[in-house]
């Protein structure tokens, strides 16, 4: 016989991970409207109550699932940006970035998040605050360093330059016949070179 759990016992992180992974998978497959707490519980192999005890709504659950995903995604640290030359940073992160953005699950997730921007703005808010803005800040720091070294024009509008870089990558990622990792690496190298960072 299993002993009853005492009140206040810490949650099992393995259960949380299983639920978050299931939620993300279902979101990518079916979108917000096609995902329910019951489906998440079933896929995670837990009871419905286990999910509801942790998250009140599926929007909260999906927002955290997206946040966990973006936290794990590869990006240079702020310390790297200030300690290393922009070219060295780009050279180090570009192969992993090309692998990531060429994956079908990455493309599907980005498409789902963008498609949910109007109907479920909280998801876009989480993605923007926890994924987009930190990467924009790092890109801006790298571009300022490149400006100091003369690789980027002193009067360049860095916000516009970052928009152009991000937009170029998004355009390639979401096109009907997206590039594979090798072609994406070639393309990202060209984008960063045109921006003055490589």
Same domain membership, residue 157 and residue 103: yes
In a domain, 8, yes or no: no
What global pTM score does this model have?
0.76
- Residue that finishes a domain, picked among 46, 67, 88: 67
Average pLDDT over residues 117-124: 86
CATH number of the CATH domain containing 146: 1.10.357.10
Same domain, 57 and 102: no
Dig out the tokens for 80 from the structure.
């790297």
User: So what's the pLDDT on residue 180?
Assistant: 95
CATH number where 30 lies: 1.10.10.60
133 lies in the same domain as 169: yes
Listing DSSP states for 37-95 in one string gives HHHHHHHHTS-HHHHHHH-SSHHHHHHHHHHHHHHHS----HHHHHHS-HHHHHHHHHH
Average pLDDT value for the chain? 87
Say yes or no: 148 and 112 in one domain.
Answer: yes
Task: Looking at the structure, tell me whether residues 120 and 44 fall in a common domain.
Answer: no
Query: Quick one: 52 exposed, middle or buried, by C-beta within 10 A (0-12, 13-18, 19+)?
Result: middle
* pLDDT band of 47, cuts 50, 70, 90: very high
Quote the domain boundaries for residue 135. 75-195
In a domain, 6, yes or no: no
Of 14-23, 53-62, 78-87, the one with minimum mean pLDDT is 78-87
**189 domain residue, yes or no:** yes
Q: Is position 87 within any domain?
A: yes
pLDDT number for residue 70: 74
Q: How many domains does the chain contain in total?
A: 2
Select from 192, 195, 161 the least CA-distant residue to 95.
192
Write the DSSP assignment of 9-44 as a string of letters.
Answer: PPP-HHHHHHHHHHHHHHHHHHTTTT--HHHHHHHH
Tell me, what's the pLDDT at 49?
A: 95
Give the pLDDT of residue 198.
86
Residue 2: per-residue pLDDT: 40
Residue 82 shares a structural domain with residue 54: no
pLDDT exceeds cutoff 80 at 126: yes
Cβ neighbours for 81, distance < 8 A, ≥ 6 positions apart: 89, 138, 141, 142, 145
* Stretch 106-129: mean pLDDT: 87
Assigned domain for 89 exists: yes
Confidence of residue 127 (pLDDT cuts 50, 70, 90): confident
Is the residue at 3 inside a domain? no
Looking at the fold, whether 179 and 82 belong to one and the same domain comes out as yes
Domain-located, residue 2: no
């Amino acid at each position: 016989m299993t002993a009853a759990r005492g009140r206040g016992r810490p949650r099992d992180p393995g259960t949380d991970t299983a639920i978050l992974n299931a939620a993300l998978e279902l979101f990518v497959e079916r979108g917000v409207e096609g995902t329910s707490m019951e489906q998440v519980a079933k896929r995670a192999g837990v009871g419905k109550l286990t999910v509801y005890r942790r998250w009140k709504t599926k929007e909260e659950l999906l927002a955290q699932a997206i946040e966990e995903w973006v936290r794990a995604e590869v990006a240079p640290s702020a310390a790297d940006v200030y300690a290393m030359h922009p070219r060295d940073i780009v050279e180090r992160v570009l192969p992993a970035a090309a692998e990531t953005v060429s994956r079908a699950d990455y493309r599907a997730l980005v498409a789902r998040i963008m498609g949910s921007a109007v109907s479920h703005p909280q998801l876009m808010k989480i993605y923007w605050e926890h994924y987009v803005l930190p990467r924009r800040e790092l890109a801006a720091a790298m571009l300022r360093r490149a400006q100091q070294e003369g690789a980027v024009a002193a009067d360049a509008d860095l916000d516009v330059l970052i928009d152009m870089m991000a937009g170029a990558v998004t355009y390639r990622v979401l096109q009907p016949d997206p590039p594979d990792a090798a072609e994406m690496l070639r393309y990202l190298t060209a984008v960063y070179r045109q921006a003055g960072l490589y």
